[in-house]
Amino acid sequence: MKTIKIRPIVEGSVEGEALVSPIPISFLGGVDSETGIITDSENPLFGESIAGKIFVFPESKGSTVGSYVIYGLSVNNVAPLALIANKAETIVVAGAILANIPLVDKADQDVTLSIKTGDKLVIDTTEEIVKIKKVE
């Protein structure tokens, strides 16, 4: 099992399956807050749901309203288990705080290259680590 160091922003310990976006995502217009489905047709994950997954992405883009989309995911019970970003901007931080979704960033390596969709992850913000069990 591989371990990477992270910076916790919104605390929490979770285990789950990774869903990895290789490109930045806009939560406003890129994710449906009622279903959790990625609606950005330019994203390779178009049509996939982030609900119940640990969503991994390089960074966000777009409007500050994205914070409310993240909160809406929680209200509609389709939120991700956690968020892992290379760089978490204010939009994502505010949304994760409002929705109480664990959020980490600034790993000691590029998370979009170290983690693959389907990998089993354990996030421990107390220890400041993510454990990665590679999918075979």
Picking from 27, 26, 80, 74, the residue whose alpha carbon sits closest to that of residue 49 is 80
Residues facing residue 38 across a β-bridge: 31
Residue 11 contacts residue 125 (beta carbons within 8 Å)? yes
Given the residues 13, 26, 33, 63, select the one marked as catalytic.
63
63 is catalytic: yes
Picking from 115, 118, 109, the residue whose alpha carbon sits closest to that of residue 131 is 115
Task: Tell me which residues are annotated as active site.
Answer: 63
